[in-house]
Structure 1
Amino acid sequence: MIELDGKRIVVTFLMHLGDVVLTTPFIHALRKLAPHSHITYVIDKKLADVYRHNPYIDALVEVDKKGVHNSIGGLNQIAKEIRSQGSVDVVINLHPNERTSYLAWKLKAKVTTGMSHFLFRPFMTKVTRLNRKTVHAAQMYMNVLEQLGYVIEHEGLEIFTSPEWDEKVQAFYASHGVMETDCLIGFNIGSAVPEKRWPKERFAHIADTLAKEGYKIVFFGGPMDEEMVQDVLDTMTEPAIKGTGQFSIGELASAMKRCDCLVTNDSGPMHVGVSQGVPIVALYGPSNPALYGPFTEKAVVLESMEHYDVNKNMKQVLKEGNYKGLSVISEESVLAGIRTMLERKGMK
């Protein structure tokens, strides 16, 4: 068994927003196993808010992977900066692509474990295999520790917000007339993959229905979603709050935390909502929610597929041309899901 406690540990992971949030249970589990270790997390600079206030790490190293660090020299610089703080005892690499595998190797740790690109596997102390077919992605990352012989405990997805983020969000909602007693329904209608988007006119209809019943409505999303959200707002007959493009990732977590329910496509912000304990209504397809869905029991998942072939990834499913799209999910089922989550929370 690789000893983890009392060590200088570096965790390398440079993936996307949702993937990074899904590693938070791993980090909490690692801290429980290594309470006396110094833990550094290496992250994509633009996603640093996910771990900026996480109490289970000691240092956060930000990589500008699309900018100054987008080269072997840039990765060498990151490795040099980390080693300058002291020799690394253990590196745990959580993604087997070339970039993170190279960085993990350059850290020159006494022990290098986790996942790895095949080119760097000969330099690994112990390679842990990815299980992409039978366990949720969050469990897949924690399984690295299980493959090292440890029994793990976790607390689900976690993003820790700051007073500054919370205060900005409170001022934002107050400026839009949201009262403490209001029931707030959040909508996240974007997704990096067009096939993962429910028709925007249906979001408008659902939001209008809820607004007429007295619920306050807020739309989230990044700058790339602003035009799409504006189209929805222009279609609606009832007022709604446009939070799209208004928040950093940390502030988005604070903003979602205020919601009584979040209606969302499969996307990174969905996992941000889960991290704040928000009841979720998630619209899924063609990704398998058993593997990539909301990592919480406080969710209703509406699916656009009846069967998933675990031997095929999303790109393969789409290439086959048989996927019918999220439009097979009805407005009635989404409304029913929202009402279910509100009732569970004691609201109607």
Structure 2
Amino acid sequence: MAESEKILLVQTSFLGDLILTTPLLAEIRRRFPRALISVLCRRELRDVLAGDPEIHEVMTYDKRGPRGGWTGLWRMAQELRARGFDMALSVHKSLRTALLLFLAGIPLRVGFRQSAGWFLYHRRPRRAAARHDVERSLSLLSAVEIDPRTTKPALRVEVSAQVRADVERIFRACGIRGDGIIFGVNPGSVWATKRWTPEGYAALIGRLRESYGGEVLLFGGPDDREVVERILDLSNHGGTSLVGKIGLRELAGAIERCRVFITNDSGPMHVAVARGVPTAAIFCATTRELGFYPYSSNAVVIEKALSCRPCAPHGGLRCPLGTEDCMRLISAADVMRGVELLLNRDRRRDAGGVDSCFPLTLGV
């Protein structure tokens, strides 16, 4: 394929999944420096890719909304066909994505062998279940004879000067001084069994304030408002809520202001990694073996060793056993230990220490 061709990457899943494909984008750009690279993602996530130097165009597909269904699939396929793409890569295993690219008539379609629509792809590398999702996505490159770099690729989310100015304005309006240490706390997740308890987060906030002072910022989307308010009540309002005050456009700019970001297994966890923020990730129903752990050496995974984990590939809406042990048995002291390890690791790095290549796991 000529270097000046048009290439499409399809990633229409959640926030974290989109961020985990940014190393793949960088590798495609390295191999095809003059290609026009487009990304097809969910409409509400397009701002996440704003300013990415590798991307020529961000297209959106509302696959489950009012423009979804078979009619929406056909319309999206015609829109892609009109763009005249020469190659498309899909990180999905769904029949819908394979059918979309087939109907778009893209002459070179690359997707995983395990896809339900494998027969609609021209080249079909195997998706290795035991690897990190970043590395699974990069394995698509083998089908187009691209050898990834041997160095560990980095996640990337751009933050513009304008976004930083907007975040500073929002912080001032919220009374956030920012002149001391800031801890970020993200208690939400799409899946209920990925969420650590409000009581645990409230106790953690108390420990952070007692040990370090500073400020605690609570992150979340509209669906997290209730849990954030409960945490604030339980912690005697020991933090400041950013729910409803920042959107996805400002999320990375706000997270990068944090000294440590404490989070459930969620999209904002990957945003923190992409911005180089030390990350304490609390894994409840999910495990790092699923391949979605923080792709960083400057991270800690806190989890409870239980034979019932993982109960589902993405967690579940409720605990199948009814015990919620994976959430309930992690204590504020366990998470605090992870935070302290990250802060001490920062000090060792400043002194010339060397980190491992993977996040540390604290089994508790």
How does the TM-score come out when normalised to structure 1? Answer: 0.90
Distance 1:264 1:245 in 2: 18
Amino acid at match of 1:270: M
For 1:113, the equivalent position in structure 2 comes to: 110
Q: List runs of 5+ in structure 2 lacking aligned partners.
A: 349-364
Amino acid at match of 2:297: E
Deviation at 1:309, TM superposition (A): 8.0
For 1:216, the equivalent position in structure 2 comes to: 215
Q: List runs of 5+ in structure 1 lacking aligned partners.
A: none
Cα separation, partners in 2 of 1:273 and 1:116, compared to 1, 3 Å: same
Deviation at 1:318, TM superposition (A): 5.5
Amino acid at match of 1:294: P
Amino acid at match of 2:259: D
CA RMSD of aligned residues (A): 2.5
Q: 1:123 aligns with which of 120, 124, 137?
A: 120
Q: Is the 8 A contact 2:109 2:122 kept in 1?
A: yes
For 1:98, the equivalent position in structure 2 comes to: 95
Amino acid at match of 1:152: P
For 1:167, the equivalent position in structure 2 comes to: 165
Q: Is the 8 A contact 2:196 2:284 kept in 1?
A: no
Q: Percent identity among equivalent residues?
A: 26
For 1:281, the equivalent position in structure 2 comes to: 280
The farther-off stretch of 215-224 and 304-313 is: 304-313
Cα separation, partners in 2 of 1:118 and 1:24, compared to 1, 3 Å: closer
Deviation at 1:287, TM superposition (A): 1.6
For 2:263, the equivalent position in structure 1 comes to: 264
Q: Is the 8 A contact 1:10 1:40 kept in 2?
A: yes
Deviation at 1:306, TM superposition (A): 5.2
For 1:37, the equivalent position in structure 2 comes to: 35
| CA distances 1:82-105 after superposition (whole Å, capped 9, x unpaired) | 3323x2211111102132222111
Deviation at 1:323, TM superposition (A): 6.8
Cα separation, partners in 2 of 1:304 and 1:148, compared to 1, 3 Å: farther
Distance 1:333 1:293 in 2: 18
For 1:7, the equivalent position in structure 2 comes to: 5
- After TM superposition, the structure 1 = structure 2 runs for residues 196-345 of structure 1, keeping only pairs within 5 Å, are 196-212=194-210, 213-290=212-289, 291-305=291-305, 313=313, 319=320, 324-345=325-346
Distance 1:311 1:217 in 2: 31
| CA distances 1:190-217 after superposition (whole Å, capped 9, x unpaired) | 1122221111112111112222331210
3-state SS, counterpart of residue 39 of structure 1:
strand
Cα separation, partners in 2 of 1:311 and 1:239, compared to 1, 3 Å: closer
3-state SS, counterpart of residue 325 of structure 2:
coil
Distance 1:269 1:223 in 2: 14
Q: Is the 8 A contact 1:4 1:33 kept in 2?
A: no
Cα separation, partners in 2 of 1:101 and 1:123, compared to 1, 3 Å: closer
3-state SS, counterpart of residue 48 of structure 1:
helix
Q: Is the 8 A contact 2:284 2:326 kept in 1?
A: yes
| Number of residue pairs aligned between Structure 1 and Structure 2 | 343
How does the TM-score come out when normalised to structure 2? Answer: 0.86
Distance 2:185 2:42 in 1: 26
